[in-house]
Structure 1
């Protein structure tokens, strides 16, 4: 089950933290390390800190954006100690998050995302996630080093994976790339129907993305939504064409 769980590090500036992350992952049976725009990698310091986890550094996947790192994932969890900025995402502690990740890892890829050493995840990155994960700690100083956070969450994943194996659920959730296509389709239809007015766009799209990321429609539900959007799009397009034809006809008169 842990083979389908990936650790994603964003814009890490200290190579030692990448090495320490690889070692922590190796300790707890995790093997997928994804690096989004690392500032210094490969690095001898990363290799030194990785110790027996150097093979994870060698197989690490390096991408430019978080969207690339999570495209084929059905569940994305963003980590942050600042629980007050959850954007209405379901808030989970490390233990409950590990339990959900392990239960869904039989169905597909899961991503656990960590932000920069100094500022964590940016708001727009957390908004790409389905869940917000935090590690319960001293409320007067709850902030952990990124390698420490990875070690603790990796431990919880290992413990959760040792629980009795239940019959895997049917694969039901779409991947993030499918959700991205849905959001593009939704925006196109909302603009076509003038629900979104260019001069007064507001935050409609952000709020809708937040809603669907939180509610996580199943594949069949997403297909139904795409079908509704297609029907609305075709109807609106025909209506515009008819209006255009009438204008042309009247202009000839």
Structure 2
């Protein structure tokens, strides 16, 4: 994978200086795709452009979208970043462990960064297959958004072809295909009574982790959705016979 295939996603960034600084460090490290999810500032204003310096072309071509699923459209793999511990639904790994794996995937991928004050929610973390936490001094481990992007961008840039393990599944299903399956699965499991509305969220988190580890292909997702369609048909036939 080339660095041009990796997009940096900022979820609801609040500081234009941070956005500009992110564009600058992306230029430094050979990254060019910046996606802004519902920014809470003017990402193309004077402050952002001043901080971007020679990364102004990265900033100028940044895309703005309304939601994280929209930002991830076309991606096959995603890594989420967080500074939280304990309540995070995915195992925390270091950039040096995860990014060689990401670079080894021969498909468009993303690294997701959260809000300056609160990071990513657990629901947003579930859109990724792996979760990165940057090792830092435990006395004060919190990093500024632009600093966190800089560390991750550096690790991505420093990963050389010799470091890359063989791609495990070069035909992994796109993330939007998986999301469609998760929505379908939840609908059917509610219909047959396996899930209940008040516990569906927690159960679906476990399914997402399970399938995230499986690295499903498009054909495997289609197979699973075929099972769901057959289950729906069977339930409908059973109701007619009652």
Question: TM-score w.r.t. structure 2 length?
Answer: 0.91
Quote the residue 2:69 is aligned against.
Answer: 67
Quote the residue 1:248 is aligned against.
Answer: none
Quote the residue 2:217 is aligned against.
Answer: 218
| CA distances 1:191-230 after superposition (whole Å, capped 9, x unpaired) | 2212234576573233323432344333333222112212
Quote the residue 1:21 is aligned against.
Answer: 22
What RMSD over aligned residues (CA atoms) do the two structures have, in Å? 2.1
Quote the residue 1:40 is aligned against.
Answer: 41
Identify if the C-alpha distance between structure 1 residues 167 and 117 changes in structure 2 by more than 3 Å, giving closer, same or farther.
closer
Give the CA deviation at 1:165: 7.2
Structure 2 unaligned regions, length at least 5: none
1:131-210 equivalences under 5 Å are 131-161=130-160, 163=162, 171-198=170-197, 201=200, 203-210=202-209
The 2-side partners of 1:39 and 1:128 are apart by: 21
Tell me if 1:76 matches 2:78: yes
1:87-166 equivalences under 5 Å are 87=89, 89-104=90-105, 106=106, 108-161=107-160, 163=162
Aligned length: 240
Quote the residue 2:13 is aligned against.
Answer: 12
Quote the residue 1:247 is aligned against.
Answer: none
Q: Judge conservation of contact 2:17–2:51 (CA < 8 Å) in 1.
A: yes
| CA distances 1:89-145 after superposition (whole Å, capped 9, x unpaired) | 2322011111011101x2x21110111111111222112221110111112211111
Q: Judge conservation of contact 1:9–1:35 (CA < 8 Å) in 2.
A: yes
Q: Judge conservation of contact 2:9–2:112 (CA < 8 Å) in 1.
A: yes
Question: TM-score w.r.t. structure 1 length?
Answer: 0.87
Select the structure of larger CA radius of gyration.
1
Identify if the C-alpha distance between structure 1 residues 224 and 14 changes in structure 2 by more than 3 Å, giving closer, same or farther.
same
Give the CA deviation at 1:64: 0.8
| CA distances 1:223-251 after superposition (whole Å, capped 9, x unpaired) | 221122122122122111222xxxxxxxx
